[in-house]
Structures are given as C-alpha cells and as structure tokens.
Amino acid sequence: MSKNILITGVTGNLGQAVAQRFLAEGYNVIGTVLPGDTIEMNFDTTGLEKIIVDLLDVGAVEKMLKGLIARIGNIDVAVLTVGGFAMADIAGTKTADIEKQYKLNFETAYNVVQPLFPYMKEKGKGHIFMIGSRPGLSASFSKGMIAYGLSKSLIFRLAELMNEEAKGTDVVTSVIVPSTIDTPQNRKSMPDADFDSWVNPGDIASVIHFYCTGEGSVVREGVIKVYNKS
C-alpha cells in the first residue's frame, strides 16, 4: 500500500525536490501552497495533490489536517519546508523583525505539528522533518542574522521536546540542517560563491528519503547535518 507524505511549501526549491523524490518512490504526495501561488513545477506531478492553505491560520491548518486524514487515512511522513530569511545585526533588528521571522520559521511549522504530532503518537509511528539552519544550531553562525537565527533555534528545541514525548513509539522528529542550498535565488544573490560546496536540494531530498526507508528508520537522529563541502 502506498504511503502518504505531507510537504509544506511544495512549490519551493526544496519542496519540489522532496516531492519529486518521493513521487519517484511511489508515495502519494500532498503539498501545501499559499493562496495565489502560481509557481510551476517542472516535473511529472502525477500523484501530487496540492492543498491551498495559509499555515499562519491555525484554524485553517487544523481543518485541513483533519479533513486530509479522514480522507486518505494516514500521514506517514511530513516535511515542513516553509520558512524565510533576513539579514541584520542586533542594532538593526527590532522586535517586529524577530516576530516576522518567528512566524515564518516557527509558527508555520508548529501550526502543523501541533495537531499532527498527537495523531502520529496515537498511531504509534510517523516521521516529521523540520528544516533548521546553522545559524539556528549555533550562535557562532548567527552573526548578522539575529532574527533568523533566533527563530530557527526554536525548531531544534521543539524537535527535542517532541522526541522526548514520543519515546517508546516509532514517531521521530528530525531537523535537517543544510549548508547553503544551491538555488537560483542564492546563486543570484551570491554570484562569486563556490557553488560546488553548496548542497543540492535533490541531495537533501535523498537524505530525507533514506531516513524513511527500512534501513534509515532504525536511526533515531534528531539533527541531520547536510553540509556537502561547506
């Protein structure tokens, strides 16, 4: 029987890579998109279902998940790719800037896991992947990106708490920590960088898939670093 994966932000660079990999592996892929999203996906999307939902709308997210589970029966894997980025040091960072990054990087994830995680615990199995960052993992990487680093740091603590709650079950929460992701946007903003040292979205998708296989599922890894040569 086919497994089901939920991907938030499925039209983003990483979301598309994850969707493409899991479709190739026979998964039913459900991807969330924002209202008005017109980004095209340049691969065979047979087996992909898009759901329009604002992840900052708690009620809408709960309704979406409840209806989805009632319709398809189970969510085996969730990959939460939605987020945002901002540069600024402490002098240039207001609380409003922190709040914005908090909403983009933490609330969009928490609003999904808050109803989904208890469901997985009740079923006794499931894997949730959230996207962290080096600035969120270590303050030494956060210089000049205060709001972003603070917001991403909460992702790691949330995963720790979820894994504590899920002990004794086959429910695992992992934080993927990529170095600079090789995207058209990053290449445009950093044209002089060493692109070969960056990590490809497809490679991240492959790592996520590995931890969903029989071999990878026995590894209860809370933090998964995908750095390539960086």
The CATH code of the domain at 4-226 is 3.40.50.720
Q: What is the per-residue pLDDT across 11-52, written as a single tens digit (0 to 9) for each?
A: 999 999 999 999 999 999 999 999 999 898 989 999 999 999
Instruction: Identify the pLDDT of residue 196.
Output: 87
Instruction: Identify the pLDDT of residue 50.
Output: 96
d(CA 128, CA 159): 9
Where in the chain are the domains? 4-226
Instruction: Identify the pLDDT of residue 182.
Output: 82
Global model pTM greater than 0.85 = yes
Q: What are the DSSP calls for 35-82, one per residue?
A: TT------S--TTEEEEE--TT-HHHHHHHHHHHHHHHS---EEEE--
In this predicted structure, the answer to whether residue 175 has a pLDDT above a threshold of 90 is yes
Q: What is the per-residue pLDDT across 87-100, written as a single tens digit (0 to 9) for each?
A: 999 999 999 999 99
Beta strands in the chain (DSSP E): 4-8, 28-33, 48-52, 77-80, 125-131, 170-178, 223-226
Instruction: Identify the pLDDT of residue 218.
Output: 77
